[in-house]
Structure 1
């Protein structure tokens, strides 16, 4: 793949992203306006008591008493100036709150997606090469179990087994509180806290990628170019890796890009179970606090991440199969 093709992908993605992002922003804003309650109600409830005058002052301070169209215009004006507004709950810029959590969520998502792809493709390759035999049947049952097991239940059972009974891994959080690790010790500590939430989030996707890899490899193995490679006397491992598996990865990468948004949504449950300080947990806290300004910022960022993920998938397709023309 040359730079010209990459430039075409970037230009096409940007032109498609602009109306998509604008539509997502307006739709999310309108939907959240239909939800009963606001940040003033939550703040008043936490204070124990509030008069009608106090509630009116709170809503006036946060701009919640303005007409919906005026609130939407103000929010779009903030976005035009690269600002996501200020959180009524934390009294901090939304970009500051999201920036403090974004790294943890990306780390968790990339670890879960990488684990799901590596394990799923490996299991699918074994299933395809041993189709109809006991490894294929055993791994198919395992994939079915992972597919039907909720992520939060898998996470809770992992905590019971590896943290409570065996004591190998921490139960939650992203680092050991008060340990003061630096350098590689800090990296190792974060990795230990990352293992269980990444495994819990990746279980469902391991099953999907394994089954899809198996089906794709079986379909590709029937193609003429594979029989030609075998007729040339190439080693079976070379045929499997360079000819069958490489072409079978195209539908797998497509599904991975499609599930990137689902993976981000699943982070809400997993981060809550493991007390992982990421965007999913921040979104949950924002919903409970009716802090819709923060929630809108998280939804907007999620949309941008999905767009970037699909752009990377297009680039990966062009690298896996040079015959694919990107326009």
Structure 2
């Protein structure tokens, strides 16, 4: 059994590495297919656009080489965890991503927990009371949230809680120019995190609510639930011991697929709230045609998505042990 599990883990790891390498190749070709010449952009930002200077830039960054050779060079650097050098920031791409990634993971993690916990709770409440006024209210609210653009929701939250009530800061990561203690700094970070995390998580909260409601209603008609009711089990015990685990499987599937998407989808939210994360770095790199940063960000985000899918497979075995026995 141990040998079988070890072989399965090695096969999964090899599959993950292969997928990440394929994504790296695709990202390289996709970025190179974008119109425009990055050498001209770099020369223009340097204040010199003569042909000799542009040719020197192409040579320095390897842009004068054939595309297959550029791809081979790039993949060799990726294998060494070298994601290139940003000509705009004048820093290694890996250090830029390492500096911005914690802020994005914090934002996406809080939004993910908020959306998942809130969606499961609201979906359970709507599902066990299907047809009631509570079910109708939750359904209408989730549809309204789902139909609302996230950037508009973020701006409205800023106008309400920052401009009108002045309860929460409107933008940024922390208060500037204040020497705060450790606890005060954490509280300050939490205040800055509330609005972007709520805005980012609302769309997924609506999705999980609808999915959990449908799953609870479907499971409630299964034979094992009817048997538990016939034996006199309390509604709370039926919900927690029999219905919830089975109803969670579709939600876990969707959450695992969208966890990485949530990180990539933070570009708009980080731009609206001036949150210094990967999304804002990507936005700036697109405007500046910083190919190395774009390729590095795409590769890191792709690796995160692959890892989240692997964690979802592991979580399946926790939610439903029967999956691990097959």
Map of 2:85 onto structure 1: 86
Map of 2:103 onto structure 1: 104
State whether structure 2 residue 160 is matched by structure 1 residue 181.
no
Task: Give distance in 2, aligned partners of 1:219 and 1:7.
Answer: 37
Please report how far the alpha carbon of residue 252 of structure 1 lies from its aligned counterpart in structure 2 after TM superposition: 0.1
Are residues 141 and 232 of structure 1, via their aligned partners in 2, closer, same or farther at CA, if it must alter by over 3 Å?
Answer: same
Are residues 6 and 209 of structure 1, via their aligned partners in 2, closer, same or farther at CA, if it must alter by over 3 Å?
Answer: farther
State whether structure 2 residue 147 is matched by structure 1 residue 143.
no
State whether structure 2 residue 56 is matched by structure 1 residue 43.
no
Are residues 25 and 129 of structure 1, via their aligned partners in 2, closer, same or farther at CA, if it must alter by over 3 Å?
Answer: same
Please report how far the alpha carbon of residue 168 of structure 1 lies from its aligned counterpart in structure 2 after TM superposition: 0.6
Written as runs of structure 1 = structure 2, the 5 A alignment for 1:1-327 is: 10-325=9-324
In the superposition, the TM-score normalised over structure 2's length comes to 0.95
Are residues 314 and 166 of structure 1, via their aligned partners in 2, closer, same or farther at CA, if it must alter by over 3 Å?
Answer: same
Task: Give distance in 2, aligned partners of 1:3 and 1:113.
Answer: 34
Task: Give distance in 1, aligned partners of 2:247 and 2:2.
Answer: 24
Please report how far the alpha carbon of residue 49 of structure 1 lies from its aligned counterpart in structure 2 after TM superposition: 4.2
Cα pair 2:105 2:263 within 8 Å, conserved = no
Please report how far the alpha carbon of residue 5 of structure 1 lies from its aligned counterpart in structure 2 after TM superposition: 9.0
Cα pair 1:9 1:311 within 8 Å, conserved = no
Please report how far the alpha carbon of residue 6 of structure 1 lies from its aligned counterpart in structure 2 after TM superposition: 7.3
* CA RMSD, 1 decimal: 1.9
Task: Give distance in 2, aligned partners of 1:24 and 1:124.
Answer: 35
Cα pair 2:215 2:250 within 8 Å, conserved = yes
**Stretches (4+) displaced over 4 A:** 2-9
Task: Give distance in 2, aligned partners of 1:243 and 1:96.
Answer: 48
Deviation per residue, 1:222-248 (Å, 9 max, x gap): 112112222232221121122111211
Task: Give distance in 1, aligned partners of 2:190 and 2:12.
Answer: 34
Are residues 73 and 311 of structure 1, via their aligned partners in 2, closer, same or farther at CA, if it must alter by over 3 Å?
Answer: same
Task: Give distance in 2, aligned partners of 1:6 and 1:250.
Answer: 23
Deviation per residue, 1:94-151 (Å, 9 max, x gap): 1100000010010011101100001111110110111011111111110100111111
Deviation per residue, 1:51-81 (Å, 9 max, x gap): 1111112222222222111211111111122
In the superposition, the TM-score normalised over structure 1's length comes to 0.95
Task: Give distance in 2, aligned partners of 1:87 and 1:203.
Answer: 34
Cα pair 1:78 1:84 within 8 Å, conserved = yes
Cα pair 1:5 1:326 within 8 Å, conserved = no
* Unmatched segments (≥5 aa) in structure 2: none
Are residues 296 and 211 of structure 1, via their aligned partners in 2, closer, same or farther at CA, if it must alter by over 3 Å?
Answer: same
Please report how far the alpha carbon of residue 46 of structure 1 lies from its aligned counterpart in structure 2 after TM superposition: 2.8
1:324 alignment partner, SS class = helix
When structure 1 is superposed on structure 2, of 26-35 and 255-264 the one drifting more is 255-264
Task: State the number of aligned residues.
Answer: 326
Please report how far the alpha carbon of residue 307 of structure 1 lies from its aligned counterpart in structure 2 after TM superposition: 1.1
Cα pair 1:172 1:274 within 8 Å, conserved = yes
Please report how far the alpha carbon of residue 37 of structure 1 lies from its aligned counterpart in structure 2 after TM superposition: 2.2
